[in-house]
Amino acid sequence: VSLGSVHTVALVGLTGRHVQVQADVGGGLPGMILLGLPDASLSEARDRVRAAARNSGAPLSPRRITVNLVPAALPKRGPAFDVAILLACLEAEGLVSVPGDTVFLGELGLDGALRPLMGTLPCVLAARELGFACVVLPRENAEEAALVPGIRVRPYAHVAALLAELGADPSKLHAPRPAGDGGERTAGERSASGTGSPASRSVDLAEVVGQATGRHALEVAAAGAHHVLLKGPPGAGKTMLAERLPTILPPLSEDEAVLSACLRSVGGQPVSALDRRPPFQAPHHTTSTPALVGGGSGVPRPGAASLAHGGVLFLDEAAEFAARTLDALREPLESGSLTLHRSGGTASYPARFQLVMATNPCPCGKPTRECECSALVRRRYWARLSGPLLDRIDLRVTVPAASTKHLVAGGAGEASSAVRARVEAARAAQAERWAPHGAAVNARVPGAVLRSDRFRPAGAAGRALAQAASGGTLTARGVDRVLRIAWSLADLAGRTSPGPGDIESAAVLRGEEA
């Protein structure tokens, strides 16, 4: 009786964990027993592995096979252990010899083909961190895996090619062997192409001509990482503006880009390159709550809010979203992350995004001149957005209608790169100022710090603030929002503290109370 032992990786949220697959062939009734697989879908692995083995010309022993996945307590899901299970079984029978420095990932088709898996990038990162020298995985995942330097990637289309290399009798194997199976991929071979929809990726602020109010609000929002509400009639260019916010944000750091790619990978999106551009997610107003914040059957997957981590979450026609769906954004707005509890397990994903909401002034969606909605109808529509969500939005800006002819023109507007340079300078000033107070951007400075003796505006600026506050509806929260925006205006202008003009402009950008 011999033992097979193969290494693989299980994904728990965004973290890959080491799993050892052990197999033992011995006495007892014929059959295959899988231990350490709580996920019901994994019992199907037995049937897939048996069929794949038979159809590859390396049938499993008719004797009793016991397969154990260690540690048993680790929540394991999905079909990514198929290859490791098959190899452990064949090694237990002495048919192959499996290297101990390699992690094996992949689902098997009944014909023995390796099928692509989700979450390749975090799995390969984990394999490298665990000290493995090599990872074997499905060919479709090779490009994504090659993004990880410091570990060899060996992709296969069919398991027969892998079995042949591990010492199985080649005269018995029968499977197509497409050229290139097992050929190594290295980190140098990455694709230069980006990901994401072309609509959000090839845009530039230069295409937005006119729209001084909207452009200015966007720049202030980018400078201080403020959430922003754009209110205006259809055709005002709200979407056009929102799509261009990522183009004026500072690029992601290497670590942030890796994290962003891991989120896409676990979310089931193809990842072919590390993208330094902040992500942009624009879920439709009919989107479900799980699609927005994460969920699904089994172990929950990240939703749009997490895919937007480090970038922009844009909710067009925000008032049309289900109230419950909007409500689900309170947790990430508060904490910057989302913890999802489902029957298949619990997962936490980061979700620190900049929220941009756009809304028409009323439900009819007609231009202002043709709108016949009553004041009550308009108020009710607006009320759908009010409450805790709106509380967190510093900038509320009304953008006037503009004809498409004026919106799209030959690049007469200032380019994104020029605006981004000012934003990055403003961010640097904030990071230095707020570092001792545990914040990096104006939008996330606690109100107590803003109002402290050290930072409260004095002199003319203080008088401007008092005047704005006495003007009527400025609540304590409203004062904090005015101060946050005023700091961003000062940072953009290179001033060391907000002047009276910054306070007055901030009070306008803050917009009306809900």
Binding site for Zn ion (CB under 5 A): 362, 364, 371, 373
CB-wise, 344 or 361, nearer to Zn ion? 361
CB of 318 to Zn ion, least distance (A): 16
Specify the residue for token string 């966007």.
Answer: 218
CB of 364 to Zn ion, least distance (A): 3
CB of 369 to Zn ion, least distance (A): 11
CB of 370 to Zn ion, least distance (A): 8
Residue 268: Cβ within 10 Å count = 12
Q: How far apart are CA 485 and CA 476, in angstroms?
A: 15
Find out whether 145 and 135 touch, Cβ atoms under 8 Å: yes
Give the strand pairing for 228-231 and 337-342: unpaired
CB of 362 to Zn ion, least distance (A): 3
Find out whether 260 and 275 touch, Cβ atoms under 8 Å: yes
Residue 470: Cβ within 10 Å count = 8
CB of 380 to Zn ion, least distance (A): 12
Please provide the DSSP assignment of 99-166 as one string: -TTEEE--EE-TTSBEEP-S-HHHHHHHHHHTT-SEEEEEGGGHHHHTTSTTSEEEEESBHHHHHHHT
CB-wise, 371 or 415, nearer to Zn ion? 371
**Cα maximum dimension of the chain:** 90
CB of 512 to Zn ion, least distance (A): 18
CB-wise, 374 or 452, nearer to Zn ion? 374
Q: Smallest Cα–Cα separation from 13: which of 257, 259, 195, 253?
A: 259
Find out whether 487 and 454 touch, Cβ atoms under 8 Å: no
C-alpha gyration radius of the chain: 28
CB-wise, 73 or 375, nearer to Zn ion? 375
H or E stretch at 434: helix 416-434
How many residues would you count in the chain?
514
With H, G, I as helix, E, B as strand and everything else as coil, classify residue 21: strand
CB-wise, 365 or 494, nearer to Zn ion? 365
Q: How far apart are CA 491 and CA 494, in angstroms?
A: 5
CB of 382 to Zn ion, least distance (A): 12
Q: How far apart are CA 216 and CA 231, in angstroms?
A: 14
CB of 234 to Zn ion, least distance (A): 10
CB-wise, 55 or 360, nearer to Zn ion? 360
Give the strand pairing for 107-108 and 114-115: antiparallel
Q: Smallest Cα–Cα separation from 277: which of 303, 306, 308, 240?
A: 308
Find out whether 226 and 220 touch, Cβ atoms under 8 Å: yes
CB-wise, 213 or 359, nearer to Zn ion? 359
In 436-488, which ranges are E strands?
Answer: none
Which amino acid is located at 111 in the chain? D
CB of 321 to Zn ion, least distance (A): 19
CB-wise, 318 or 429, nearer to Zn ion? 318
CB of 214 to Zn ion, least distance (A): 21
Find out whether 21 and 67 touch, Cβ atoms under 8 Å: yes
CB of 374 to Zn ion, least distance (A): 9
CB-wise, 200 or 359, nearer to Zn ion? 359
Which amino acid is located at 237 in the chain? G
Q: Smallest Cα–Cα separation from 454: which of 424, 439, 434, 476?
A: 434
